[in-house]
Structure 1
């Protein structure tokens, strides 16, 4: 079986003899570059790790994206390199300042100092999207996915990186992942994958809107 096709604008290219994921855009976090291309480091990006694991993300390039938990812009900068309008939600002020700097080099990247748990605060800004990428370090990660579902088109995708330690640092990660899946009302889960060796105690989830909800 052939591996899933990478989105247009994402390629595997040689850097120092190793084949790495790469996008074309301005450098953000000191990643290796080759001309206009820059390494997409899966050890610093949950979505990059999903692509390295060959998950069927549904990304083809050019999508409108809502990114929840953008932090300083490491992953969302790569997303903006191959996507259409990209709305980047980050709650903390300090990383948002870095995110604004990243957005200066990407006209399609819109940084929002907002709380992903309160989508009503940015509902007047964000248009319907093809993809929600969720990478939030908070309790209630399933709630965040449910609360932001109204932004997602009927044929869209949720790409979530579930952080077990953010939900309960003492709980068994598998039980956290099972709980997340059971609470993901309004979605149909298409695929799940642990993100080791790139990220410990993380589960990647690909889901689509459940048309019965």
Structure 2
């Protein structure tokens, strides 16, 4: 089956698989398969390993990522999803903030091959510690396993341009272990709305990511 374009810019498909065009041909990041066709190389994007891919597989309809987008990525881990964002925003910038020194080392190694990936060792709960190095991003993407996820997201919205799009990947069990995931999702959406932020999409990420939801907002 030939590789085909999708409705999401920079994202392709091969049968059931989502793909991104590999910015570093021949290199893999997390053991993902490579697909080669007509002189182009693509990386399989596993929705079981990436919440952003899961969002798309669950019918996500908001996709602001463009070739030259600037992205602030909070909680980048070792770079699984950030590497695919780097593929899509090939001529843009992906500023990846990670608090774990061990994961940061992986990010740093990844950035040596991906010039558009800028890793920062820092705490997403303290945007004042890195905000001066970023400017105003087109897209804010957050995936952190801390209790105050919505509060962290709101504090970082100062680093998102007016009209920019934010993705908050809610880890329900980290936010409130005593509440059901749907309750946590609704509470998060309500908190953002009460702060004057418009929620423009939501997807429960089951079955790809248990107890996780994707909340998408637009900054006024």
2-structure distance, mates of 1:117, 1:57: 25
Cα contact 1:146–1:186 (8 A) shared by 2 = no
Is 1:78 matched with 2:84? yes
Is 1:144 matched with 2:141? no
- TM-score of the aligned structures, taking structure 2 as reference length: 0.88
Cα contact 1:57–1:159 (8 A) shared by 2 = no
1-structure distance, mates of 2:198, 2:78: 30
Cα contact 2:58–2:204 (8 A) shared by 1 = no
Change (3 A) 1:107 1:113: same
- Cα deviation for residue 60 of structure 1 reads 4.2
Question: For structure 1, which segment, 84-93 or 27-36, has the greater mean C-alpha deviation from structure 2 after superposition?
Answer: 27-36
Tell me, what secondary structure is at the counterpart of 1:124?
helix
1-structure distance, mates of 2:88, 2:199: 25
Q: Which residue of 2 aligns with 1:153?
A: 161
5+ unaligned residues in a row in structure 1: which ranges?
Answer: none
Cα contact 1:158–1:207 (8 A) shared by 2 = yes
2-structure distance, mates of 1:60, 1:54: 16
Cα contact 1:195–1:201 (8 A) shared by 2 = yes
Q: Which residue of 1 aligns with 2:3?
A: none
2-structure distance, mates of 1:142, 1:186: 13
5+ unaligned residues in a row in structure 2: which ranges?
Answer: 1-5
1-structure distance, mates of 2:79, 2:72: 13
Is 1:55 matched with 2:60? yes
Q: Which residue of 2 aligns with 1:163?
A: 171
Tell me, what secondary structure is at the counterpart of 2:111?
helix
Matches within 5 A, 1:104-119: 104-119=112-127
Q: Which residue of 2 aligns with 1:5?
A: 7
Q: Which residue of 2 aligns with 1:65?
A: 71
2-structure distance, mates of 1:46, 1:60: 15
Tell me, what secondary structure is at the counterpart of 1:48?
helix
- Cα deviation for residue 58 of structure 1 reads 2.9
| Count of residue pairs brought into register by the alignment | 202
Q: Which residue of 2 aligns with 1:24?
A: 21
Tell me, what secondary structure is at the counterpart of 1:101?
helix
- Cα deviation for residue 82 of structure 1 reads 1.1
Cα contact 2:169–2:212 (8 A) shared by 1 = yes
Change (3 A) 1:60 1:96: closer
